[in-house]
A = this chain, B = another copy of it.
Amino acid sequence: MSKAQPVLIAGTWRDSKSVGSFEPDNPRTRQSTGETYPVSGLEEVEEAVEAAATASEQLQAHYPEGVARFLEVFADRIEARRDEIVEMAATETGYPTSPRLNDIELPRTTDQIRQAAAAARDRAWSMATIDSASGVRSMFAALEGGVAVFGPNNFPLAFNSIAGGDFAAAIAAGCPVIAKANSSHPGTTRLLAEEAFAALADARLPPATVQLIYRTEHDVGKRLVGHPRIGATGYTGSRHAGLTLKEAADLAGKPIYLELSSVNPVYILPGALRERSDAIAEEFQASCLMGTGQFCTNPGIVVMLKGADTDAFVQSVSGRFDDAVVGTLLAAGVESGMTDSVETLAGAGAKLITGGKAEAGEGFSYANTLLTVTGKQFLTNPETLQTEAFGNESLFVIASDLDEAIEIARHFEGNLTGCVYSDTEGSDDEAYERIEPLLRRKVGRLLNDKMPTGVAVVPSMNHGGPFPATGHPGFTAVGIPASLLRFTMLQSFDNVRPHRLPAPLQDANPLNIQRLVDGTWTDAVVG
């Protein structure tokens, strides 16, 4: 076993006071990458939290200019080292270097970081509110303490715990980050952390603004998110681990933003199938198998009404699934998770249409898989039949009539997305109008005539949704500036002397932002 890689704690790359170690795998070879990473113990985590709390105090003096500058330098540095980073990410995830990593995910990552830098500078998201008669003013600003970020396995760059969406949002809000690397791509995270640490020096920010550990035991992770001096946590990953952390954070009264599982129900109404069955089948296949189905917004449940058009659609998709290349999965755990989930679904009555077999492609893999249940079966066991199979799988729920399809919508758990395909002639309109009010409030993002994969990084995006898709239905993990608000607090200033007010609230409006002044949005000066 190679020497364990160092952790980044309190401004220093150093050997971990580790309580164990692990080796990540190359998913295409099913073998270790040859690197060894430490498991951090309680002492190291305590030290990181204290260092982040101190950095949190210090960062106020560097906000926003130093913070924005850091993010910009960091984005430049990622691009300067892109070949090495992309190669490492490809080795650790099995994703293709091009286009996925080099041409899609890396540009998205640096674009997000630069958007975050711009958001830190302009502070339009502070929602500056001024009531002149009462002398009260308010805005959102960074909460106190560091932010722990647990990144997911499926976006080694764009959701990396260093460089990804939660990282960029926390830093742009003004919070230091303690990153817990995802265990399936610690090397990618280490390279990104090296660049972040160098960028901190360039921007003269406190060196403990970014810290990195790779793995902890469960109790230590719980201590991290519930530590009296932590500020908040951003977590993207499995439901089980997420709920364990949520419980610890909640007990301590610490905000935790989770992105957990989601089956992303898609309704395909009868008129739409009559009108454009082939086009929808093609869209569905592309969305469901993209990235070997390892997207948070993968369409995992499709609801259709019983009938010949539906039978033909199922046949068509099944053929496409059989013909499609079986992609590589991210890790041994994802492969075994597919086996377990498909077994769980089958145990609840789902019938296999195609697939259902592990090691069906290169490296970690599972055959492209479709299952089906009747609407009636679904309604007898809706919880189990919403088990997420994280990967290239989907469950077709065939309702006997529209009333049953509507009743199914009442039984969905919270999801990131929900879609409805309807025809363009109006024959599906009545069904739409009955389904939409139910589906709308079960999901963060409602789509028409479009598959849910593909998450635009725009202010109106909601990559969130009701529990258990996330921990709170009011916040999004994607979309700047909204994603920053997770790491802020509401601050009122009551009768505070004018020269002591922060820039967003000063009469002269030095940031030239839109503010809610006496009930009206305006960029005018006050008084």
| Chain A residues with a Cβ under 8 A of chain B | 57, 60, 129-131, 133-134, 136-138, 140, 142-144, 246-247, 250-255, 414, 417, 432, 436-438, 440-442, 444-450, 456, 458-462, 464-468, 471-476, 482, 485, 488-497, 500, 514, 516, 519-521
Contacts and interface: CB of A to CB of B under 8 A. Distances in A.
Given A445-B492, A466-B144, A493-B446, A472 B521 contact: no
8 contacts: A131-B459, A133-B458, A143-B466, A448-B496, A456-B494, A474-B488, A476-B490, A476-B492
Given A129-B459, A460-B130, A473 B143 contact: yes
Contacts of A252: 467
B491 A137 contact: no
A467 B500 contact: no
Contacts of A250: 246-247, 250-251
A490 B467 contact: no
A136 B490 contact: no
Contacts of A465: 489
A475 B449 CA distance: 35
Given A129-B460, A144-B442, A462-B491, 16 more contacts: A131-B459, A138-B460, A142-B441, A250-B250, A445-B493, A445-B494, A446-B493, A448-B500, A449-B497, A459-B516, A460-B492, A462-B490, A474-B489, A482-B490, A514-B521, A521-B521
Contacts of A497: 448-449
A57 B438 contact: yes
Q: Tell me which of A131, A436, A445, A473 has the highest count of chain B C-beta atoms within 10 A of its own C-beta.
A: A473
B437 A57 contact: yes
A475 B475 CA distance: 12
Contact of A473 (B255, B417, B473): B255
Nearest to A465: B489
A42 to B, nearest CB: 22
Contact of A441 (B438, B471, B489, B521): B489
Of the candidates A133, A246, A254, A521, the one having the most CB atoms from chain B within 10 angstroms of its own CB is A521
Contact of A144 (B441, B445, B448): B441
Contact of A459 (B247, B450, B482, B519): B519
B440 A491 contact: yes
B456 A134 contact: yes
Given A497-B448, A521-B521, A490 B464 contact: yes
Contact of A460 (B136, B254, B474, B489): B136
Contacts of A432: 500
Contacts of A482: 129, 490
Given A250-B246, A460-B130, A500-B432, A473 B490 contact: yes
A82 to B, nearest CB: 26
Contacts of A255: 472-474
Given A137-B460, A459-B131, A253 B471 contact: yes
A450 B495 contact: yes
Given A450-B495, A485-B474, A494-B446, A441 B143 contact: yes
B447 A495 contact: yes
A376 B414 CA distance: 50
A154 B493 CA distance: 25
A136 B455 CA distance: 10
A392 B252 CA distance: 29
A431 B413 CA distance: 52
A423 to B, nearest CB: 11
Contacts of A458: 131, 133-134, 136
